[in-house]
């Protein structure tokens, strides 16, 4: 059985290598024809690629890894743009035309090469002639997916905002999550491509928090959105500060602020002091701070500290942060109650001189929680985390 499985794996690898060579050779030819690309997108196998799934998937899967991949992707995108410029939405190209359009648009989405694809896709959107569906999926939605990853500026901002808030769009189809994705990928301008548009991201996160307000799974779902932002721009080193700034500027609800990845971090914003950002329940432990500022629905406290921050506060904050960021339940009271229990455990392990100080601080946190306004009960589940981005 083991030998048989090895033989099958080796055969599959040989097929993969052969397909890569076929596609690479075609992309390196100067005498290619648009009819060859149409045939490949229809699944005719003109390029010698196995068609066990939708053709666009096969084309993307057999692009070789390594240094030449980007060059080959760019050439495939250039050829896809040539076909888009033939306006396949206004004439009957392909058999059936819907399958060709679906595979062409999904190929563009997977390539994500806005230099070659942004303008042809925007021209298709501007014509307002796209209609039909393939395998039950509206082609206007497919265009939304293709445009999301091929943006060079903010021309589609109104379309994404309409999706985000459930309003009618000019042409595109999608739900609030698709609007969120569109704003996430949208650069502020051509000169700032590759950088996150902080204004758009703040608007998108605030827009997604509203429908999650009464969702019992709001915390894990909002954390998934935050993680999506970080994964889209993984090289940005200032996300902790950025998220707090966005929460403050765009008025995130309190529960959403408490879903941010880190609410305890230090930034050297002043020459003679450290600036500490920490979650409000921990602020009482930093009595030596000056110039205190409350941010993000008063959930975050910004403190200026001239003395060295004690090691015990770092250790305490690390444990509290872990409890906060993994807390799954809907209720803000329940979260603060769980943190109060954790602080009690830390207090019990503290030395006698510190124990009483910790207890008095924890009791204030406890009584503040009791006096807080009762929360409304969560409504039936709206979305599960597994429903996010099914087409990505």
pLDDT tens digits, one per residue of 361-379: 666 665 565 555 555 556 5
Instruction: Give the model's confidence band at 389: pLDDT under 50 very low, under 70 low, under 90 confident, else very high.
Output: very low
| Cα–Cα dist 290/274, whole Å | 11
Residue with tokens 């906060």, as numbered in its chain: 324
Regarding whether 95 and 164 lie in a shared domain, the answer is: no
- The segment with the largest mean pLDDT, out of 222-231, 304-313, 347-356, is 222-231
Regarding whether 177 and 131 lie in a shared domain, the answer is: no
DSSP state of 265: E
Residue that wins the pLDDT comparison between 233 and 291: 233
Domain's final residue, options 212, 238, 261: 261
pLDDT of residue 384: 40
Query: What residues contact 216, with CB distance under 8 A and at least 6 apart?
Result: 330, 378, 379, 380, 381
Q: Cβ(271)–Cβ(248) under 8 Å?
A: no
Q: Cβ(172)–Cβ(125) under 8 Å?
A: yes
Instruction: Give the model's confidence band at 9: pLDDT under 50 very low, under 70 low, under 90 confident, else very high.
Output: low
Q: What is the mean pLDDT of residues 356-360?
A: 66
Instruction: Give the model's confidence band at 310: pLDDT under 50 very low, under 70 low, under 90 confident, else very high.
Output: confident
Strands annotated E in the chain: 133-134, 137-138, 264-267, 274-279, 290-295, 300-305
Domain's final residue, options 150, 165, 186: 150
Domain membership of residue 378 (yes or no) is no
Residue 228, domain extent: 156-261
pLDDT of residue 307: 79
Regarding whether 194 and 127 lie in a shared domain, the answer is: no
Residue 272 has pLDDT above 50, yes or no: yes
Regarding whether 137 and 41 lie in a shared domain, the answer is: yes
pLDDT of residue 66: 83
pLDDT of residue 385: 39
Domain count, the chain: 2
pLDDT of residue 386: 36
Regarding whether 255 and 174 lie in a shared domain, the answer is: yes
Regarding whether 113 and 221 lie in a shared domain, the answer is: no
Dihedral angle sign, alpha carbons of residues 32, 37, 39, 43? positive
| Strand pairing report for 290-295 and 264-267 | unpaired
Regarding whether 164 and 144 lie in a shared domain, the answer is: no
Regarding whether 145 and 21 lie in a shared domain, the answer is: yes
Q: What is the mean pLDDT of the chain?
A: 87
Burial zone of 316 (CB within 10 Å; 0-12 exposed, 13-18 middle, 19+ buried): buried
Domain membership of residue 177 (yes or no) is yes
* Nearest C-alpha neighbor of 223 from the set 72, 325, 336, 307: 325
Regarding whether 102 and 120 lie in a shared domain, the answer is: yes
Domain membership of residue 182 (yes or no) is yes
Domain membership of residue 291 (yes or no) is no
Regarding whether 201 and 91 lie in a shared domain, the answer is: no
Q: Cβ(103)–Cβ(60) under 8 Å?
A: no
Query: What residues contact 193, with CB distance under 8 A and at least 6 apart?
Result: 114, 152, 187
Domain membership of residue 220 (yes or no) is yes
Regarding whether 11 and 143 lie in a shared domain, the answer is: yes
Domain membership of residue 327 (yes or no) is no
Q: Cβ(176)–Cβ(163) under 8 Å?
A: yes
- Long-range pairs, 217-220, Cβ under 8 A, ≥24: 217/330, 217/381, 217/383, 217/384, 217/385, 218/255, 218/256, 218/330, 218/378, 219/255, 219/258, 219/259, 219/327, 219/328, 219/329, 219/330, 220/328, 220/385
Residue 391 has pLDDT above 50, yes or no: no
User: Residue 300 pairs with which residues in a beta bridge?
Assistant: 279, 295
> What's the pTM value of the predicted model, to 2 decimals?
0.86
Domain membership of residue 286 (yes or no) is no
Residue 207 has pLDDT above 90, yes or no: yes
| Strand pairing report for 290-295 and 274-279 | unpaired
Domain membership of residue 88 (yes or no) is yes
Residue that wins the pLDDT comparison between 385 and 6: 6
Domain's final residue, options 261, 289, 324: 261
Regarding whether 174 and 96 lie in a shared domain, the answer is: no
């Amino acid at each position: 059985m083991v030998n048989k499985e090895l033989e099958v794996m080796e055969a599959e690898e040989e097929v993969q290598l052969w397909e890569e060579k076929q596609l690479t050779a075609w992309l390196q030819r100067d005498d290619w024809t648009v009819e060859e690309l149409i045939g490949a997108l229809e699944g005719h196998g003109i390029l010698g690629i196995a068609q066990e799934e939708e053709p666009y998937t096969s084309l993307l899967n057999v692009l070789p890894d390594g240094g030449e991949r980007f060059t080959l992707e760019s050439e495939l995108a250039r050829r896809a743009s040539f076909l888009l410029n033939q306006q396949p939405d206004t004439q009957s190209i392909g058999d059936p035309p819907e399958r060709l359009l679906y595979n062409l648009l999904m190929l563009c989405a997977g390539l994500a090469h806005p230099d070659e694809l942004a303008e042809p896709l925007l021209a298709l959107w501007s014509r307002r002639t796209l209609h039909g569906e393939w395998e039950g999926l509206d082609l206007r939605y497919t265009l939304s997916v293709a445009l999301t990853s091929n943006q060079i500026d903010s021309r589609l901002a109104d379309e994404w905002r309409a999706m985000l808030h459930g309003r009618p769009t000019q042409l595109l189809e999608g739900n609030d999550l698709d609007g969120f994705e569109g704003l996430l990928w949208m650069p502020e301008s051509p000169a700032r491509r590759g950088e996150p548009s902080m204004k758009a991201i703040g608007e998108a996160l605030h827009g997604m928090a509203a429908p999650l307000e009464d969702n019992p799974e709001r915390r894990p779902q909002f954390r998934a959105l935050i993680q999506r932002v970080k994964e889209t721009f993984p090289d940005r080193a200032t996300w902790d500060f950025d998220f707090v700034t966005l929460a403050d500027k765009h008025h995130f609800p309190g529960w959403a602020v408490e879903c941010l990845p880190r609410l305890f971090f230090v930034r050297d914003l002043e020459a003679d002091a450290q600036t500490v950002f920490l979650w409000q329940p921990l602020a009482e432990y930093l009595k030596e701070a000056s110039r205190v500022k409350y941010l993000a629905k008063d959930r975050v406290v910004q403190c200026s500290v001239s003395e060295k921050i004690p090691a015990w506060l770092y250790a305490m904050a690390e444990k509290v942060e872990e409890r906060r960021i993994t807390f799954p339940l809907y209720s803000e009271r329940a979260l603060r109650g769980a943190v109060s229990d954790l602080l009690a455990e830390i207090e019990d392990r503290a030395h006698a001189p510190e124990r009483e100080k910790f207890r008095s601080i924890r009791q204030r946190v406890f009584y503040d929680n009791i006096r807080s306004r009762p929360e409304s009960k969560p409504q039936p589940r709206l979305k599960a985390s597994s429903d996010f981005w099914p087409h990505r």
